[in-house]
């Protein structure tokens, strides 16, 4: 079983998104997460990042790890509360705001986290 992490970053350029991933590599090693795919979608306000990891994580772990990876903090608070309450489909990104797939940025972010994944 795998787990999909969903991250939302608003109002930042691609260079800042790359820097966030570089700075937060510790999260991948600490939680021994093994990334399998990364998909970056440009949105009208920033970026959606979808990361498939090999590990099977419970909802509260997903909510916390997304926050630790830099997910929008308000979204993270709502997600954690919905997950804690057992609300189905709690981890929502509004895909109607997505305007383009970013293959080069997806590859770059995957390369950054792949180096740290599963090390712990």
| Backbone dihedral angles phi then psi of residue 100, each to the nearest 5 degrees | -165, 140
Phi, psi of 23 (to 5 degrees): -65, -30
The token pair that represents 85 in the structure block: 């309450």
Q: Does pTM surpass 0.85?
A: yes
**What is the Cα–Cα distance from 29 to 113, expressed in whole angstroms?**
9
Percent of the chain with pLDDT over 70: 97
pLDDT category at 120 given cuts 50, 70, 90 is very low
Q: How far apart are the first and last CA of the chain?
A: 20
Average pLDDT over residues 37-50: 97
The helix or strand, by DSSP H or E, that contains position 68, with its residue range, turns out to be helix 59-68
**CATH architecture designation of domain 3-114:** 2-Layer Sandwich (3.30)
* pLDDT tens per residue across span 55-90: 999 999 999 999 999 999 999 999 999 999 999 999
Helix (H, G, I), strand (E, B) or coil at 46: strand
* Residue 119: pLDDT band with limits 50, 70, 90: low
Identify the CA nearest to 90 among candidates 12, 25, 6.
Answer: 6
Q: Is the pLDDT of residue 108 over 70?
A: yes
């Amino acid at each position: 079983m795998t787990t999909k992490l969903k991250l939302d970053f608003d109002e930042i350029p691609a260079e800042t998104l790359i820097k966030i991933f570089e700075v937060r590599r510790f999260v991948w090693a600490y939680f021994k997460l093994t990334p399998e795919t990364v998909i970056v979608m440009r949105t009208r306000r920033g970026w959606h990042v979808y990361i498939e990891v090999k590990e099977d994580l419970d909802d509260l772990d997903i909510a916390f790890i997304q926050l630790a990876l830099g997910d929008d903090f308000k979204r993270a608070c709502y997600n954690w509360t919905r997950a804690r309450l057992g609300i189905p489909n709690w981890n929502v990104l509004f895909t109607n705001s997505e305007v383009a797939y970013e293959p080069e940025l997806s590859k770059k972010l995957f390369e950054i986290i792949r180096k740290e994944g599963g090390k712990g």
